[in-house]
Amino acid sequence: MHPDEQRQDIAARIKTILTDMVGEAPQSEEARLIKDLGFDSLDLIDLAMRLEEEFSIAIPDEVWDDTGDKSIRDLHDLVSARLTERTPA
């Protein structure tokens, strides 16, 4: 898959998950999970599990602890990095 297509695919799949969780599509990639979308710690756990299942990746718990309130763009970067790590060069 071309990198631009992969980026669009990841973004669309994350948007679908978030829309399912909050009931409406996020308006910006800069939207913050806690501040803007109203996530709490249980929502973050649910999101992590959904991302792991959707993309067949593992997300260590410390990812959620290190920077606090993540943006949707941060999620995209996280998923992209995890997919790159598991894909042989």
Query: Where residue 20 sits, what CATH number does that domain have?
Result: 1.10.1200.10
In the annotation, is 69 catalytic?
no
Q: Tell me the C-alpha distance between 55 and 85, whole Å.
A: 12
State the pTM of this model: 0.88
pLDDT for 61: 81
The residue range of the domain holding 15 is 3-86
pLDDT tens for residues 39-62? 998 999 999 999 999 999 998 888
Contact 57, 14 (CB under 8 A): no
pLDDT for 88: 56
Q: Which amino acid is at 50?
A: R
Chain position carrying tokens 């998950």: 17
Question: Which candidate in 9, 20, 40, 46 is catalytic?
Answer: 40
The length of the chain in residues reads 89
For the chain, how many structural domains are there in total?
A: 1
To the nearest 10 degrees (0 to 180), the angle between helices 72-86 and 3-22 is: 130
For residues 8-33, average pLDDT:
95
